[in-house]
């Protein structure tokens, strides 16, 4: 039996704000959208146009409270070939939330507080 990754899910409070963040910060593009017939939820799948892996953003109409991320000890990681340029871009966006210069990585935070690791390609 073999399994392959399909997607990761993050629940978000403001779907359009989150889509804009992922497009601006990471260049992800919407590849699919599913909206419930009663409008109670919308799923938006974002991809990097290189790998088949997708990020699913879930918006729930009746959710008004921020999500409890616990100690935020989980994250998604993204590689980039131009680490220094990415760092400058994220610094200018004001979304860098943690740096580990010794390891040569940093984290950005999305509008809902999810952490995203940025690392040089091949690290």
pLDDT the model gives residue 74: 85
pLDDT of residue 73: 82
- Stated pTM of the model: 0.92
User: What's the pLDDT band for 100 if we cut at 50, 70, 90?
Assistant: very high
In a domain, 67, yes or no: no
Phi first, then psi: what are they for 111, rounded to 5°? -60, -20
CATH number (domain holding residue 54): 3.10.180.10
- Identify whether 119 is part of a domain: yes
Residue 123 has pLDDT above 80, yes or no: no
Is the pLDDT reported for residue 24 higher than 90? Answer: yes
Residues involved in catalysis: 117
CATH number at residue 112: 3.30.720.110
Residues 50 and 15 in one domain: yes
Q: What is the pLDDT of residues 58-79, one digit of tens each?
A: 999 999 999 999 887 889 999 9
Residue 80 sits in the same domain as residue 49? no
E strand segments, 14-120: 29-35, 41-47, 54-60, 76-80, 96-100, 105-109, 115-120
Range of the domain at 92: 72-123
């Amino acid at each position: 039996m073999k399994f392959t990754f399909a997607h990761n899910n993050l629940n978000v409070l403001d779907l359009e704000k989150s889509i804009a963040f992922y497009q601006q910060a990471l260049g992800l593009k919407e590849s699919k959208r599913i909206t419930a017939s009663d409008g109670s939820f919308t799923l938006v799948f974002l991809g990097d146009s290189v790998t088949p892996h997708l990020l699913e953003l879930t918006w729930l109409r009746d959710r008004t409270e921020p999500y409890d991320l616990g100690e935020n000890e989980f994250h998604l990681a993204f590689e980039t070939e131009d680490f220094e340029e990415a760092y400058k871009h994220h610094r200018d966006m004001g979304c860098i939330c943690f740096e580990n210069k010794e390891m040569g990585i940093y984290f950005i935070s999305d509008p809902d507080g999810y952490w995203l690791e940025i690392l040089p390609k091949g690290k």
